[in-house]
Structure 1
Amino acid sequence: MTATRRVESRSASEPSPWRSRLLASVGLALFGGMGVIVWLFGYWEPRVLPILVIEVEGGLHHHSSELLQQTLSERLHGGILTADLDDLKSAAEELPWVGHANLRRVWPDRLLVRVEEHRPIARWNADGLVTAEGIVFHPLSRTIPAGLPLLEGDDKRAPEVAKRYQQWRDELMLAGHLIQSLSVDPRGDWRVVLVMGTELRLGTGPVEERLARFIASAPQLEAAGRPLVVDLRYSNGFAVKWASDAGPQVRANSGRSKRSGNRG
């Protein structure tokens, strides 16, 4: 009987065990080498290419450039190539008076920071300020400007309150009046106090119409005395509470019949 021996041939495309091990070793070495290079770059880059100057542009009336520079310096990690500008932008905008910040690298060692500060139009509730766009922020009490009017309401309604304040401020100014405070309570009840001391109760209904009614009647009211409260929450008229030296409380109307219970 003749014995036969089968010889198995290995495909040329199938790697041998030693070749696989070699490729794995080379890959591991390359990966490790890249890690070393990244580490060396991260270690040496801030030392070789440091940021030496933080230059601030833009008006900073309440937060000095020095304070902003100090804040950014404490948050700065890396050199001119690796500094995290998004993180530095967040750090700048965490300062209460900073509304918007934009940062860019200036070769070889300078960081340029452009800043826009919040511009408040009024105080907001107990300890805040509000911008024309209805942005509420809370700075240190010593940095709050004096003489601003007071707006009050829920923070979610700040854009609406700020918008109405600006509209009503202009309308009342044409009639010779200035707003001292404007508020809206959780029920949506609007109230305006004028600098002259008169309180306007506008209620929850058609407040624009009611304010217009007061403006149209303001000359006659002032000629009659000193009104303390003008309650405009009636369908066709208003009730007036006068100062003690200006006579009894009276009720005015637009010449049409009123339903005294129709207030809102």
Structure 2
Amino acid sequence: MAERKRKPRAEKPFINAARLRAGVGALAFLAMGAAIWLLGEWESRLLPIRLIEVEGELHHHSSRLLQERLSERLRGGILTADLEALQALAEDLPWVGHASLRRVWPDTIKVRVAEHRPIARWNADGLVTAEGIVFRPTGGAVPAGLPLLEGDDERAPEVTSRYLKWRDDLMLAGHLIQTLSVDPRGDWRLELVMGTELRLGTGAVEVRLARFIASAPQIEAAGQPQIVDLRYSNGFSVKWASRTGSELRAHSDRIARSGNRG
């Protein structure tokens, strides 16, 4: 009896299923791309941002100005608007220290703003906060009555820290700081509102200032000091205002002490 030949298994259904899956995947990919394209093209029209609300105290930049700046750069609708870019734009305004933005359905962006709060002027054109952040406002009025701090920008945190401490120490002695400066060599100088200049030098400045505060009643009892040079290891010298006359120069001889200056 002749041997019956076996028929090969049909593989066609499996091939068709693989092709079907590939086709479905391609269609899904195309559909996703089309949906993204439609979202980009139509989302800003279907879900536009109609309102930008500003929260927080704005003393130097009005809410209207901030709203106008953000509106000019606004792209997309409520779902696609780039909040990080808008935050960076808000924080580029000189007086704005920090801004945070959030979406509020269906058509609002809320912006919360915290402004820089300067404690002093910084060099010729800037302002500085208690944290030592330097900013330079453009086209805005600088608050009146602020003291002047001077130094390199990178030393701003150190200068402001010392200013805040020395301000409190001197206020207890009845004095206010008008100018505090440190030069590139690290030489510190104070000018008081009463017109007296304190030269503290480059080292042991805390000790030297404490020495002045302790001796201030004795110095002021003698007259009006113009310059108090504290750059000595264990003393200071006083230059009196010219109107004090010979009697006060005699007092200054007794107040000045010996010591190496530095």
With structure 1 as the length reference, what TM-score do the two structures score? Answer: 0.88
**d(CA) in 2 for partners of 1:168, 1:179:** 8
Of residues 190, 202, 207, the one that matches 1:192 is 190
The equivalent of 1:219 in structure 2 is 217
Which structure 1 residue ranges, 4+ long, deviate > 3 Å from structure 2?
Answer: 7-13, 18-29, 247-251
In the alignment, does 2:138 pair up with 1:140? yes
Q: Displacement of 1:12 after TM fit?
A: 9.1
**d(CA) in 2 for partners of 1:229, 1:78:** 63
Gaps of 5+ in 1: 1-6
**d(CA) in 1 for partners of 2:24, 2:59:** 60
Q: Deviation per CA, 1:10-31, whole angstroms, max 9, x where unpaired?
A: 9899x75x77666555433332
Moved more, 180-189 or 135-144: 135-144
**d(CA) in 2 for partners of 1:19, 1:44:** 36
Gaps of 5+ in 2: 1-6
**d(CA) in 2 for partners of 1:27, 1:251:** 97
Of residues 233, 250, 255, the one that matches 1:252 is 255
The equivalent of 1:129 in structure 2 is 127
Contact 2:99 2:113 in 1 (8 A): yes
**d(CA) in 1 for partners of 2:142, 2:34:** 52
In the alignment, does 2:79 pair up with 1:81? yes
The equivalent of 1:70 in structure 2 is 68
Contact 1:241 1:250 in 2 (8 A): no
Of residues 91, 94, 97, the one that matches 1:99 is 97
Kindly indicate which of the two structures has a greater share of residues assigned to helix.
Answer: 2
> CA distance change for structure 1 residues 65 and 167 in 2, over 3 Å: closer, same or farther?
same
Which amino acid in 2 is paired with 1:252?
Answer: I
> CA distance change for structure 1 residues 245 and 25 in 2, over 3 Å: closer, same or farther?
same
Which amino acid in 1 is paired with 2:234?
Answer: N
In the alignment, does 2:177 pair up with 1:168? no
Q: Deviation per CA, 1:54-96, whole angstroms, max 9, x where unpaired?
A: 1111110101111110111112111111111111111111111
**d(CA) in 1 for partners of 2:172, 2:12:** 94
Identity rate, percent: 70
Which amino acid in 1 is paired with 2:174?
Answer: G
Of residues 181, 184, 198, the one that matches 1:183 is 181
Q: Deviation per CA, 1:88-114, whole angstroms, max 9, x where unpaired?
A: 111111111011111111111111111
Q: Deviation per CA, 1:183-230, whole angstroms, max 9, x where unpaired?
A: 111111110000111110011111111111111111111111111110
The equivalent of 1:45 in structure 2 is 43
Which amino acid in 2 is paired with 1:201?
Answer: R
SS in 1 for 2:140: helix
Q: Displacement of 1:144 after TM fit?
A: 1.2
With structure 2 as the length reference, what TM-score do the two structures score? Answer: 0.88
SS in 1 for 2:103: strand
In the alignment, does 2:107 pair up with 1:109? yes
Q: Deviation per CA, 1:18-51, whole angstroms, max 9, x where unpaired?
A: 7766655543333222111101011111111111
Contact 2:178 2:191 in 1 (8 A): yes
The equivalent of 1:3 in structure 2 is none
Q: Cα RMSD between the aligned structures?
A: 2.6
Which amino acid in 1 is paired with 2:129?
Answer: T
